Structure 1
Amino acid sequence: MSTPPATEPTAVPSWTVGGVTVHRIDEVPLPPATGAWLLPDATPDLVAGQDWLRPHFADDSGILRIDSHSFAFTLDGLRVLVDTGIGNGKQRANPAWHDLDTDYLRRLATAGFPPDKVDLVILTHLHADHVGWNTRQTDGEWVPTFPRARHVTSRTEREFWAGYDMEEAREQMFRDSVIPVEEAGLLDLLDVPAAGLDIAPGLRLLPTPGHTPGHLAVELTSGGRSALITGDCIHHPVQLAHPAVGACVDIDPRRSEASRRTLLASLADTDTLLLGTHFAPPTAGHVVSHGPAYRLSPVPADPH
């Protein structure tokens, strides 16, 4: 798959959460075949049974729409980035992720987050499409993209992969996107209890294990309003209607489903804004009870 050539970034979509503006930093739409591979139980017939998924989250033939992006916001002067996408120029087995050339960093800077001004990078988990922009290539070496930022992830997550019998593609991802950040002394491993962990005022990490053992969701609170960034606990809004639908790459499918059900139940019929790390535009919405499960009531990005 060839990546479309880089173009000038357009306005950065954003949402207001209390006194905080949350920006979506687009990287790349993923190919139509992604949904069927990633969520094999989300068949066209199952998708077609949820009219609310169209036209934003699925097409008329039941093909799911899935994107790669990050979220960035400033909280009490702290510039925060949640997940770092796939990255440019990375050698990846997945052709949709291989050797990308995107405008990600320019979009990030357009939103007010030039790499040397980012203070905190939260990694929901250590998969290739969530850690790629941790590094960029300089003089043939992979160096940290955000040299001033504290990078955080779950200790459970890092220790799991440290003891995992990795295939070469995953080892390559760690070599180019995780280990350089560790060697620079920029990665902090956090012990996240079941009740969650406050890492700054208004910023909380919530354990949502299953997709990976140390997977985290991110809760933001400001001015009496709240938002929840999913990571890969929820890949696509179809999983609101069918929480049993899991990803083919879930390490522990049963635990992933349990985390998803618990999270959705806590969000249902509240004013918490759900921000999907892979949700196609409009990306955000409220979880609403719908039959035996839920649906997403979209909240469009703020007008510019």
Structure 2
Amino acid sequence: MSELSAHKVMLGDVEVSRVVEVGRFPLPTEVIAPEVPDEVWRGNEKWLAPDHWDPGSGDALAVMQTWVLRSEGGTVLVDTGIGNGRERPGVPAFEGLDTDYLGRLAAAGVRPEDVDVVVNTHLHGDHIGWNTHNAGGSWVPTFPNATYLVPAADHAFYGPERGDAVRVDHRYGFADSIAPVVEAGQAVLWEGTHRIDSHLTLESAPGHTPGSSVLRLKSGTDRAVFVGDLLHVPVQILEPCCSSAFCEDPKEAAASRVRVLGRAADEGELVVPAHFAGPGAVEVRREGEKFAISRWV
């Protein structure tokens, strides 16, 4: 099975599929984890390569992907990638993308009209792009029957009210991927916690962005937490106080990371980040004030 194929697993009564938009995307380690010493990467080369780190270039590796959850008869998408045909000034890697994302969703058994809920864990451009698609020159919701769950704090932070205080690529992303679903009446702005169904609950985990969130899954004896960009790369499990250069508030992001990883270790939650390649999910344990990887899943 190729990296771009759908993978499925059952967690209790919830089916989880993984749909990759862009595979193994290089990111400079000094950007994605600037405070992590080079010796941490080198010292863990045996398991970081080849999925998470390229020892030759020194780049970290990430994927752009969506998690598809089928729960209580509904279909939930967790983050929607970069999207096709976008203008992203300052982010050339996201500019004018053309992938078969919708075809890969279809291969996972999901048509746009089947989607009931879209979760944007936060409003960075690589998590919101397929919220919409271009139809006759206008951006319209890709998933016509879905409720889009949008963190209220991010909506305020990246919205037009702040004008030029918002970085230009974020302004473009808001305009083409968030504003159209709000205008269509399909968005719910939430804060604090939001219950999707008896298995799935959104919780605020700020720092990476003001509205960054995690999605908790609890079904039978199985537990998982979809952490978005709380973790970009696995070395942040080993060095949880190290945030990326993309974090709006690095200290708050680190505090959220330590809190979420601590609960995952204590309660046996499977940790499912947005961008991990390879197996994609991980079990963690405490090691003093830090954490370690118990098992890849």
TM-score (norm 1): 0.89
Uncovered stretches (5+) of structure 1, i.e. residues with no partner:
1-7
Residue among 274, 282, 287 paired with 2:284: 287
TM-score (norm 2): 0.91
Q: CA deviation at 1:299?
A: 3.4
- Higher alpha-carbon deviation: 14-23 or 227-236: 14-23
1:58 aligned to 2:56? no
Matched position secondary structure for 1:33: strand
Matched position secondary structure for 2:185: coil
- Higher alpha-carbon deviation: 264-273 or 123-132: 264-273
Alignment RMSD (CA, Å): 2.0
Is this contact kept in 2: 1:87–1:132, CA < 8 A?
A: yes
Percent identity of equivalent pairs: 37
Residue among 212, 229, 232 paired with 1:232: 229
Matched position secondary structure for 2:118: strand
Is this contact kept in 2: 1:42–1:245, CA < 8 A?
A: yes
1:47 aligned to 2:78? no
Matched position secondary structure for 1:230: strand
Q: What CA distance in whole angstroms lies between the structure 2 residues aligned with 1:105 and 1:98?
A: 18
- Higher alpha-carbon deviation: 34-43 or 115-124: 34-43
Which residue in the other structure is 1:3 paired with?
none
Q: CA deviation at 1:270?
A: 4.2
Q: What CA distance in whole angstroms lies between the structure 2 residues aligned with 1:216 and 1:18?
A: 22
Q: What CA distance in whole angstroms lies between the structure 2 residues aligned with 1:90 and 1:34?
A: 23
Residue among 72, 75, 79 paired with 1:79: 75
1:113 aligned to 2:107? no
Residue among 9, 13, 28 paired with 1:15: 9
Kindly indicate which of the two structures has a greater share of residues assigned to helix.
Answer: 2
1:275 aligned to 2:243? no
Q: What CA distance in whole angstroms lies between the structure 2 residues aligned with 1:39 and 1:22?
A: 28
* AA of the residue aligned to 1:151: Y
- Higher alpha-carbon deviation: 168-177 or 114-123: 168-177
Matched position secondary structure for 1:244: coil
Is this contact kept in 1: 2:34–2:245, CA < 8 A?
A: yes
Which residue in the other structure is 2:156 paired with?
159
C-alpha change, 1:236 and 1:10, in structure 2 (3 Å) is closer
Q: What CA distance in whole angstroms lies between the structure 1 residues aligned with 2:221 and 2:3?
A: 32
Residue among 16, 19, 25 paired with 2:19: 25
Is this contact kept in 2: 1:30–1:96, CA < 8 A?
A: no
Uncovered stretches (5+) of structure 2, i.e. residues with no partner:
none
* AA of the residue aligned to 2:200: L
The number of residues matched between the two structures is 290
Which residue in the other structure is 1:180 paired with?
180
Is this contact kept in 2: 1:31–1:96, CA < 8 A?
A: no
1:67 aligned to 2:92? no
Q: CA deviation at 1:292?
A: 4.4
* AA of the residue aligned to 1:287: V
Q: CA deviation at 1:63?
A: 3.1
Which residue in the other structure is 1:91 paired with?
87
Matched position secondary structure for 2:276: coil
Which residue in the other structure is 1:191 paired with?
191
Q: CA deviation at 1:295?
A: 2.4
* AA of the residue aligned to 1:223: G
